[in-house]
């Protein structure tokens, strides 16, 4: 299981750059990032090498943020890899709240990052299906 930083950010020009400048200035490395927007605000979800420090840094600069557990699974870099993962998850009857893709630099594979309510059950299930859970 990984820890993700979820940031509530204003949807305006330069907002993302302000966030990444703070993180970069602190020497924190980001390995995954996705944004979801609405008309005025959005949620930035990111994985960093120091999630607690990232959250504290952004909170101290006035951002509303929180730490969320997420599951990351190595998937193959060939057509159908994500589909196979999602088919196995669907067969488990465990609901996924959201999912995004990133890349595992160490292994050279894509990873699927997702949030679900029953993490232990999901990790056990995916491991039993042969997936490598990070």
Final residue of a domain: which of 50, 66, 82?
A: 66
108-132 confidence digits (pLDDT tens):
889 999 998 888 888 999 999 999 8
**pLDDT, tens digit, for every residue of 15-33?**
889 999 999 999 999 999 9
- How many domains would you assign to the chain? 2
| Shared domain check, 125 and 113 | yes
Mark whether 120 and 84 lie in a shared domain: yes
Where a domain ends, among 66, 85, 112?
66
- The range of the structural domain enclosing residue 53 comes to 2-66
Shared domain check, 102 and 57: no
Which of the listed residues 66, 88, 116 is the one where a domain comes to its end?
66
pTM of the model: 0.85
DSSP the chain: -EEEEEEEEE-STTHHHHHHHHHHHTTPPEEEEEEEE-SSEEEEEEEES-HHHHHHHHHHTT-EEEEEEEEEEE--SSTTHHHHHHHHHHHHTPPEEEEEEEEETTTTEEEEEEEES-HHHHHHHHHHTT-EE-
């Amino acid at each position: 299981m990984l820890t993700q930083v979820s940031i509530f950010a204003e949807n305006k020009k330069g907002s993302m750059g302000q966030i990444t400048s703070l993180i970069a200035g602190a020497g924190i490395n980001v390995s995954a990032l996705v944004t979801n927007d609405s008309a005025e605000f959005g949620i930035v979800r990111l994985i960093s090498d120091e999630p607690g420090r990232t959250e504290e840094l952004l909170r101290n600069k006035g951002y509303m943020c929180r730490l969320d557990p997420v599951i990351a699974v190595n998937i193959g870099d060939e057509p159908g890899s994500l589909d196979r993962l999602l088919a196995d998850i669907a067969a488990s009857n465990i609901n996924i709240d959201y999912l995004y893709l990133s890349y595992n630099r160490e292994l050279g594979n894509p990873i699927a990052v997702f949030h679900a309510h029953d993490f232990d059950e999901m990790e056990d299930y995916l491991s039993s299906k042969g997936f490598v859970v990070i």
